[in-house]
Structure 1
Amino acid sequence: MHYSGQEVFFGQNDLIVSKTDLKGRITYANHTFLEIAGYDEDEVIGQPHNLIRHPNMPRGVFELFWNCISQEKEIFAYVVNSTKDGGHYWVIAHVTPSFENGEVVGYHSTRRIPKKSTITNVIEPLYAELNQLEANYANRKEGTAASYARLMEVVNSKAASYDEFISSLIWEQ
């Protein structure tokens, strides 16, 4: 895919919602998801959610992401996604496991528009550092591990936990 560098924006009150099965395949996408990402519903249902993964999204952040949700915990994370036509959009994602009869059957994600200043001043520089670290390793798994470790160093230098770190960014004035 060719990435245009064109940023797409959505409204402050808009919510992007999707659901996946346990393997991360999309089982539901709301109108806002489809509109922002530029897909038709039949193009995304059954596809891996990483269909919209942007190359500037560090693998180490997804490592943290999957560590949390595989332990049946919710997570908030800043994510840059790709659109079908090569653009991108930033979100603050809230992902939770979906339960039926006490068993996890998939995942539910609601995304909102993040503060531009947080993306520009904190997230983009951090993700650039993590991506560069990942690129320094020929072995993808080692690069992901190094990126994840660096992310945890940054988090621990600023807060008692990842949740506290993210909360401070979301709710900062």
Structure 2
Amino acid sequence: MNAFQREIIDEEVQWDKTKTIVSKTDVYGTILYANDVFSNTCEYSTIELIGEPHSIIRHPDMPKVAFKVLWDALKREENFHAIVKNLTKTGKYYWVITDFTIDKDEEGTVIGYTARRKAVPDGVVKKITPIYKTLLDIEKLKGEKASEMYFEAYLKEEVGKTYNEFVVDLFDEELSKEEAERIKKETSSFKKGLNWFFFGETNPK
């Protein structure tokens, strides 16, 4: 069922925000694996999710350019963080930040992606929502290319960072200073991969 065929409810789904949503897709975004947290949160069964495009949970409030930036990065085999508003089966929503791992076969060929998603602090949602709304409004009135051009200019002129850097820094700002200091002492990759956020600890050097 397409997202736009569902009744959209302006209500956040109740889910355990301490948990990590995990999914695996092929290079085209087809879902190959979904953990129980994923299925419970999006209100689809695992059987319903397998074999479906990941866009099955795309919320109509999300501008297309956000996904274009994401896929462009993955095609360059770059890890990427994205802030996404997802749609559940009953039309509710949930916000997550996503961390990607590039999956390769023994010959080094990319065969898919593993995505880990965790809940987004309210402060981040408040900051990103008006930006996404502007991008979506431009997309509807002027087209996807105009939205993409505006986003590129916005990041360059007003933010001075890439989207990925922007996302990481939003979290840096919203987390308590005490927690941030503790994390920085534990890992040198605070600004590089948010490993602490998705895995709880970094891999030993």
Provide the TM-score with structure 1 as the length reference. 0.91
Match of 1:140 in 2: none
Equivalent residue letter for 1:67: D
Offset at residue 132 of structure 1 (A):
0.2
Offset at residue 126 of structure 1 (A):
0.3
SS in 1 for 2:12: coil
Specify which structure has the bigger relative contact order, considering alpha-carbon pairs within 8 angstroms and separated by 6 or more residues.
1
Alignment of 1:103-122 (within 5 A): 103-120=109-126, 122=127
Alignment of 1:54-73 (within 5 A): 54-73=59-78
| Percentage of matched positions with identical amino acids | 35
Q: Distance in 1 between matches of 2:131 and 2:46?
A: 33
Equivalent residue letter for 1:66: W
Deviates more, 1:90-99 or 1:103-112: 90-99
SS in 1 for 2:169: helix
RMSD: 1.2
Count of aligned positions: 167
Offset at residue 42 of structure 1 (A):
0.9
Equivalent residue letter for 1:151: F
Offset at residue 14 of structure 1 (A):
0.7
Gaps of 5+ in 2: 1-5, 175-205
Deviates more, 1:10-19 or 1:59-68: 10-19
1:164 correspondence with 2:169? no
Q: Distance in 1 between matches of 2:136 and 2:93?
A: 17
Q: Distance in 2 between matches of 1:82 and 1:15?
A: 17
1:99 to 94, 100, 104: 104
Q: Distance in 1 between matches of 2:46 and 2:136?
A: 31
SS in 1 for 2:147: helix
Paired residues of 1:36 and 1:83 also in contact (CA < 8 A): yes
Q: Which has the larger radius of gyration?
A: 2
Equivalent residue letter for 1:21: D
Gaps of 5+ in 1: 138-142
Paired residues of 2:100 and 2:115 also in contact (CA < 8 A): yes
1:17 correspondence with 2:26? no
Cα distance change on mapping 1:126 and 1:160 into 2, 3 Å: closer
Deviates more, 1:8-17 or 1:102-111: 8-17
Q: Which protein is richer in strand relative to its size? A: 1
Q: Distance in 2 between matches of 1:3 and 1:89?
A: 12
Offset at residue 118 of structure 1 (A):
1.3
Could you list the runs of 4 or more consecutive aligned residues of structure 1 that deviate by over 6 angstroms after TM superposition?
Answer: none
Q: Distance in 1 between matches of 2:78 and 2:122?
A: 27
2:83 to 53, 78, 85: 78
Offset at residue 162 of structure 1 (A):
2.5
Match of 2:147 in 1: 147
